[in-house]
Copies of this chain bind each other. A is one copy, B any other.
């Protein structure tokens, strides 16, 4: 199920500006293929082509396809994580802001977000990417905890899963984007209130 762990880092850590751009172009090409044609269409030849480089060059920077996708996952997570970190931790309505940030992130490139979500499952992430996933979940949970008081770990996780599930479904067109934030909020608050016996 899980693939052998290869070093997913760029082979050369690109220091020169030109090289950094090349790496970025490669990752972005992968992103575009993913959102335009789906996961099955992603292959190294096509990535190189769309990135405007040759396969040879691509393999100078990434040891294999997997590494490129991990880099992409990391790139996307970084954005969301930064947005979540920007939410004042003691904010009055942190939940609302958290939901808003997640929705915003999802809808910038909904097909990409959905595709990555699916890809990630059963995918060996490198240490750094895994850490970021952890950070995002932990951040969400701690924001929730602050607003709703001491809650069981699993209950917090459940709330996060509910939110993520609905936002993702919306990103895939299963739910309307209109009213989504309120819908998610209702779902999360509804669950947490049901827990604390809100008959």
Q: Which of B174, B187, B194 contacts A157 (CB 8 A)?
A: B174
A53: min CB distance to chain B, Å: 25
Q: Which of B158, B165, B175, B190 contacts A183 (CB 8 A)?
A: B158
The answer to whether B176 touches A154 (Cβ under 8 A) is yes
Q: Which residues of B contact A175 (CB under 8 A)?
A: 154, 157-158, 161
The docked-state distance in angstroms from the alpha carbon of A36 to that of B161 is 25
A94: min CB distance to chain B, Å: 18
Chain A binding surface, main DSSP class: helix
Give the number of copies in the complex: 2
Q: Which residues of B contact A97 (CB under 8 A)?
A: none
Q: Which residues of B contact A118 (CB under 8 A)?
A: 118, 121
Interface centre among A38, A194, A198 (most CB of B within 10 A): A194
The docked-state distance in angstroms from the alpha carbon of A108 to that of B191 is 27
A187 and B158 in contact (CB under 8 A), knowing A122-B38, A172-B121, A194-B193?
yes
Q: Which residues of B contact A172 (CB under 8 A)?
A: 121
- Whether a CB of chain B sits under 8 angstroms from the CB of A169 is yes
Within 8 A of B (CB), among A152-177: 154, 157-158, 161-162, 164-166, 169, 172, 174-176
- Whether a CB of chain B sits under 8 angstroms from the CB of A192 is yes
The answer to whether B174 touches A162 (Cβ under 8 A) is no
Q: Which residues of B contact A192 (CB under 8 A)?
A: 190
A177: min CB distance to chain B, Å: 12
